[in-house]
Structure 1
């Protein structure tokens, strides 16, 4: 047994919990609760339900999704970090989990050390979007304007410290220009601002803007991932438009409390990977603009750690106040 599991087992015994190896035998014996930290009906909720439903079929126990919204997902993360490490309390974390780890001075948990990573579930890019009436045809024009008049070209996002915001700051840093960030209270508000002409462009996830793009009200001029997004294959990436190496994608994945037995983590990992092969699950994730992609626990841990390091540097460079 790993040293952490030995220590966790000793702690469990001291608290009157069954020893963790015993908990792993016959797992699961009851319903599993999967927390997600955003509003019911949103992206995180839909991802959790699609994957959880499929996992429950193979596990023989229901995976019950519970929304615990607030503070950018940190409330739900706190609940899971403090839960018994027995595999019955999980977290559907998103890219905001890494952003919070970079942006907040103090959190009730450590973003990596207080969790066992299970597997990634999906990755999706953001879109750089303009009003359909805009004369701007590509991102190069936006960056040229920003270079000519530093700090005058504005962009809207879902709020200060959102992944969208940090994606804009990273864009400005890598393109060596100055952009003016205009925060709104969520994607819907930034979308309304763009439609109303308050800002020349916004950065938003596909689900927030696709209906208006399809209706001819908005136009995407760039995608933020390393490859073109299949949902809009004609739209070039940021990297293709002069910002080499630019890559910003949000993600979702499953986490368990630190000390969860490796046997349990491995079982959950196997069922996540199995669920991601189900056509209905893959289609649901693709409909939300995502790419179904699982991982090993070690791969997910390395990815989250890298994301935190990247965003810490962006926060420092942009002088974004720590929360």
Structure 2
């Protein structure tokens, strides 16, 4: 008994010492999406602030593929020492909902540290579309089931499931038309090939400002500063609300003192005016959490998206 007690005390002391010394070498921040995209842009902002706070280089590395699964798998299998971190996105929970199996457990294999940003989606149509409001659009979908189409960046993407959730909550049928990402969904709506764009404010804003597209609703719980005057979808479809997010996690088993050090650095970053402005400028808002809150959010989002997958009869990969 005494041996176990002494062992536990020694382990705690070593963990504390590791936390005090951490970091002693460069840190990798991994994400699984394209250069210049939302995840990449925010990762580089975070890396810059963590580097200043921790006194060691923080290097952003892209391991793209399978909607973030390649990056997440890499970090889940990394040494849990705080030197390999991952920028998780809302796609992390969507992947868990649409894949029959993953090379990692989306909850148990990660140590959440903090969310860093949150952002809604915009429901938009081409400027000459007869629908002037979300109610108009849903009215058409209700009268002619399956004739109103919406684009996304791919089957099983967050944009896809957001469109399916909107249709299910409103009690209508809409036709999903997937694209491979990039500018293709926007171009499809502008060309008149698809009726509705469901995408981030960052993607939609240039077309909305140019007057080539019109925003019908934002999926946030309140009006979004980047798009003043655009109503929230819940005004038309009560209870409908979708945010996506970005957040930092480490491999499961990362020592508590290391997690605490990283969380404190991120919490300070989220209050920094320069970081907040940079995030606002790309259509998001700073949004922090405790490690426990981030874990709970991931669990609840997986549950929600699994229900959407079932309701929409989306074939699991």
Query: TM above 0.5, one fold?
Result: yes
Residue from 287, 312, 317 that aligns with 1:318:
312
* Native 8 Å contact 1:24 1:86 kept in 2: no
1:152 aligns with 2:147: yes
Matches within 5 A, 1:124-273: 124-241=119-236, 243-273=237-267
Q: Distance in 2 between matches of 1:217 and 1:283?
A: 27
3-state SS of 1:253 partner: strand
- Structure 1 residue 21: Cα displacement: 5.3
Q: Secondary structure at the match of 1:112?
A: coil
The residue that corresponds to 1:84 in the other structure is 79
CA distance in 2, matches of 1:218, 1:317: 30
Distance 1:284 1:218 in 2: 25
The reply on whether 1:302 has 2:313 as its aligned counterpart is no
Q: Classify the secondary structure of the residue corresponding to 1:126.
A: strand
Checking the alignment, whether the CA contact within 8 Å between 1:159 and 1:186 is kept in structure 2 is yes
- For these two proteins, the number of residue pairs brought into alignment is 308
Match of 2:4 in 1: none
1:282 aligns to 2:276 (yes or no): yes
Counterpart-to-counterpart distance in 2, 1:41 and 1:153: 32
Shift in Å, 1:20: 5.3
Q: Which runs of 4+ in 1 moved over 2 A?
A: 19-25
Distance in 2 (CA, whole Å) between partners of 1:157 and 1:116 is 30
1:216 & 1:152 partners in 2: Cα distance? 25
TM-score, with structure 2 as normaliser: 0.94
**Residue 23 of structure 1, CA deviation:** 3.5
Q: Verify the 8 A CA contact 1:35 1:90 in the aligned structure 2.
A: yes
CA distance in 1, matches of 2:142, 2:211: 29
- Is the CA contact 2:15–2:256 (under 8 Å) kept in the aligned structure 1? no
- TM-score under structure 1 length normalisation: 0.92
Q: How many angstroms does 1:116 deviate by?
A: 0.3
Unaligned regions of 5+ residues in structure 1, if any? 1-5, 11-18
